[in-house]
Amino acid sequence: MFKKILIANRGEIAVRIIRACKNLRIKTVAVYSEVDKNSLHTELADEKICIGPANPRESYLDMNKIVSAALITKADAIHPGFGFLSESSNFVELCKKDNIRFIGPDSEVIDSMGNKSKARNTMIEANVAVVPGSKEPIYKSEVGKIIADEMGYPVIVKASSGGGGKGMRIVEDERDFHKLFSLAQTESMNAFNDDTMYVEKYIKNPKHIEVQILGDSYGNIIHLGERDCSIQRNHQKMIEESPSPVIDEMTREKLGQEAIKAAKAVNYENAGTIEFLMDKDFNFYFIEMNTRIQVEHPVTEMVTGIDLIKEQIKIAAGEKISLNQKDIKVKGHSIECRINAENPANNFLPCPGEITYLHLPGGNGVRIDTAIYSGYKLPMNYDSMIGKIIVHGVDRKEAIEKMKTALDELVIGGIETNANFQYSLMNNLTYLSGKANTGFIEELLS
């Protein structure tokens, strides 16, 4: 087992990883930018080291600084969390070069799954159902339009290296294709330094379903059930739950098997997520694989009782998965609400600032993953998510009631948050029915 792990991240996920390391009696190193000097993760870790200015490119995205920090502190492994360098194959190779274990899959898998067009072709070869679309990378809008015209509209233009809703545009009319393709490609270059695009048929208002998988270096791969992540705004997830309220046992079994088939196609190792779109007829299609831990991993932990971060660490240390598929039992229902520092009344404008007062909810079946505290100053340089409320109930109805209570008890002074908006969603009839799809929020706000 590792003796010391450096966490190449910040905020609530850094705190989450530190807690898992403490449970395993592993020492931790926190890295931080100058603006994160007083962040909670720096106080909880055994050691801390500054890696540069607030700009992520000069700190959390500077792989040389992070590897140097690991070497200086004699960390034998790095956990990347999510975002930043978590899906950088170059970072994995740099870690390997310096004999530091990257807690995640190898660089080849990250490359093959991180590039959306490569991932599609890999899944097609593995006989996994994918959304109809282009097979080769697209660099020119003229080429993309020919493919879109053949498929029929609407289509969606996507960045091959995309994620988090960036580098994506829905094209409803052929007359808008060139303009929207150009916008998506420019956004992709700015966010990922990659102008590789692809085009696929747009399935309007589907369900977004993902399956959590674990794989070890001995060829064992299991799935831990599905999560319903259909409540989104601008392709950013807001509410996630497990299990999905609309999937029956037969479909659930098929989803799990498809996810394992997809993971086996790339000999997957560590924690990962296979994401699907599901249409109104319950047909599902592979859209991408996330080769890292997900923001929404706690709902899977709540219904299975399995600590996914600890499993990640143990797998990276060379241990076998201690569970078989038959051992995985989903119990009850879990829901997660992402709490963002933003103002829903002002087009969800980010609201950094000082937290003047904080009261966090608690009680039976309520979990809070956050790194904020009273007096903490939220920087404007990073994502607006400041925490997650996760609840667990015997069924979905109880989980919803617990979430409403938790949101009602949450008090964050000094800044605007989306907590009240999340509370309103918990009372929305469409959400309560379980039938809300990816277009739900847009329709609600229109």
> Which residues carry out catalysis?
292
Helix (H) or strand (E) run with residue 118 in it = helix 116-125
CA–CA dist 228, 397 (Å, integer): 15
CA 414 to chain centre: 28
Q: Is the dihedral of CA 155, 159, 161, 164 positive or negative?
A: negative
Nearest Cα neighbor of 157 from 124, 134, 135, 175 is 134
CA–CA dist 401, 404 (Å, integer): 5
Within 13 Å, how many C-alpha atoms sit on residue 67's CB side? 17
CA-based Rg of the chain, rounded to a whole angstrom? 21
Q: Is the dihedral of CA 403, 409, 413, 416 positive or negative?
A: positive
How is residue 14 written in tokens? 């850094």
How is residue 28 written in tokens? 């931790």
Angle between helices 107-114 and 116-125 (to 10 degrees): 100
Residue 276 DSSP one-character state = E
